[in-house]
A and B are shown apart, each in its own frame.
Chain A
Amino acid sequence: MKKLIYAALVLFGTSAFALECSGSNGFAVSVDGTGNGELSTPAESVTLKNVNGSGNYYFAKVNEGNIRTFTLSVSPGSQASTLKIIYMRGAPESVDVTCK
């Protein structure tokens, strides 16, 4: 029974938080149910830890490579989302991504 509850919690947690989004030119972000994941740009890929957010807005500190942080806003009721990346060097970039 304990295993069942644990499995249910894991599944619940995963479904509540996990997301996978991709856009053109190699932009992608994925986050698992524990808040860890990966962010890719045409130039680099970085590991994500402790992604905050739920529902329609996500963000995390990155401070790796040239990426300082990102935000991901998911339009309610739509798969179309906006990934905004803030770089150490260079202007922030806003790209359309599709999430599932």
Chain B
Amino acid sequence: MKKLFATILLLNTYAFAEVSSINFLEIGFEKWDYVRPTNANSPSGDLKFNEAKMARADLSFNMKNKDQIFDAQMYWRNNIISFTTPFMNLDFSMGEDSGFDKIKSISTKNSSTIINPLFFSFNGEDFSFGLDDMSLRIGNFMAFCSANNDEYDMASAEGIEYGCMTELSLNANDYSKPLMLNMKMDYEDGDKLDFNAKLSNIDLNDSTLIQAKAVSADMTLSKYFVEIGAAELTCMKKSDLKVFDSDIIKKDCENTIDLKLPKIVVNNKTDDTKFYIETEVINIQNENMYFHAPVIQFVDKESSVTTYDMTLKCQKEDSATAYDLHSMIAQCLKSGEISIPRLVSRDENKLWWRYGDILTKNFDPTAHIKSKEKDAANISIRLVNNSAVVSANAYTKILGVTTKFHVDIKGSVLHLPKKDQLIIKVKDIGVPIGWFKIKWKKVLLGIMKKALVGEMIEFQDDNIVIQL
């Protein structure tokens, strides 16, 4: 973000000292494009501005770019940004530690910014910047920051950063349309993330409370395409953090997160399975994670499995990463509890094709499941240091009669992040009186095979291999 501020402050790099100053910059950009040059002598971008108003101490001037006479070419060399026009040149020294060289690209159009001692605003149609491994683009945006302290002078790069870490609101510029966000990231393991969101707002209040509301969002990560309906995020950052440190903010936020994601649809592009998740609570507080999903459904083209009222409680040490699946699996294997009061497994031949209607037409993929249907109930899984104790009631038809069995399973779970695998080693199965273990295992595995969807599960002797 420092780099972002640096780019916005390109035309304002002189130092402001006094709070009582009326140093200011207002500039309207018609278009500004920058691509990091491979050759320092080649132009690296173009700047077209409509109007600029600048002041420092007693010097102020207004410039209107009438007839585009100040349309400029931009150069980046020797830590200096130069704007060259036929009539004048402007050079801005960025200093040796500005980090500007890490910025791969910047682009904005039809936007304007105001910088003065009391506040910072930046609004417009489009703004994007790219680094080597990520890019961020926002459209229809209005950002406003204030330090909430009239004694503090925000008219500097540090001042803007301080203000935006105190009070920040990011809204739609044109309120009839959403604020658009696109983020692309390249991970070291080769995975690529492409995240798109239509947002209502992102706010930071009192230096602490971060809130974001999305109208909808979608994300492509590896083989998964995830669609999300309306969503709300609340989390905290430390109030004394007044500089933008994305790692600290991300960590503070994930350890205090409260997410409301009523509807999520996940498409696995490689094996044609789809997931539907209704969540009521996703939060992390005091090194514990709690997840409650009224409905989770897995479908392929032939069958479905639906769980009702699943809850998941796991430890979540501050050092663990909430958005890293393997990190959270490791946490849950250390100490976790999963409860599934009801599970229904069915043959389906149309449901998979209706999943596209869930978010667009409010289609309920569980509406056809009768309230009495269940293949398993009261499933409880307790995990402690990679040991698992499972108890459940299973229902299967014997000679046409639905019969209930209670089963207890003990085992251990081997977690192989590098192979993206979980291996459950079944050690002991508590069987109903009158059943031979070997026979029960066949019945149990039969139920499990029926209850599991997709190609991610494989049975190898007494081991269940889950490919993530």
Contact = CB atoms under 8 A, between A and B. Distances in A.
A18 B119 CA distance: 22
B123 interface: yes
B150 A54 contact: no
Given A69-B119, A91-B173, A92-B123, A55 B60 contact: yes
A61 B146 contact: yes
Nearest to B53: A73
B414 interface: no
Given A69-B119, A91-B123, A57 B142 contact: no
Given A55-B60, A56-B60, A91 B174 contact: yes
Contacts, number: 58
Given A52-B22, A56-B60, A89 B171 contact: yes
Contacts of A75: 62
A55 B22 CA distance: 10
Contacts of B53: 57, 73
Contacts of A61: 118-119, 146, 150
A59 interface: yes
A57 B55 contact: yes
Q: Is the interface of B mostly helix, strand, loop or mixed?
A: strand
Interface in A20-38: none
A16 B22 CA distance: 15
Interface string A41-72: 00000000010111111011100000011010
A97 B453 CA distance: 68
B26 A84 contact: yes
Interface residues of B, number: 23
B121 interface: yes
Nearest to A87: B142
Contacts of B116: 52, 57, 59, 71
B144 interface: yes
Contact of B144 (A55, A57, A84, A86): A86
B175 interface: yes
Contact of A57 (B22, B112, B146, B174): B22
A55 B116 CA distance: 15
B336 interface: no
B118 A89 contact: no
Nearest to A50: B150
A68 B148 CA distance: 13
Contacts of A60: 118
A56 B173 CA distance: 27
Contacts of B173: 91
Contact of A53 (B22, B26, B146, B175): B22
Contacts of B117: 52
Contacts of A68: 144
Contacts of A56: 55, 60
Contacts of A86: 114, 119, 121, 144
Interface of B: 22, 24, 26, 53, 55, 60, 62, 112, 114, 116-119, 121, 123, 142, 144, 146, 150, 171, 173-175
11 contacts: A55-B22, A57-B53, A59-B118, A68-B144, A71-B26, A71-B116, A73-B26, A86-B114, A91-B174, A91-B175, A92-B123
Given A57-B116, A61-B118, 10 more contacts: A50-B150, A52-B116, A59-B116, A60-B118, A61-B150, A69-B119, A71-B116, A75-B62, A91-B123, A92-B142
The 4 A-B residue pairs whose C-beta atoms are closest, nearest first, are A91-B173, A53-B22, A73-B53, A59-B116
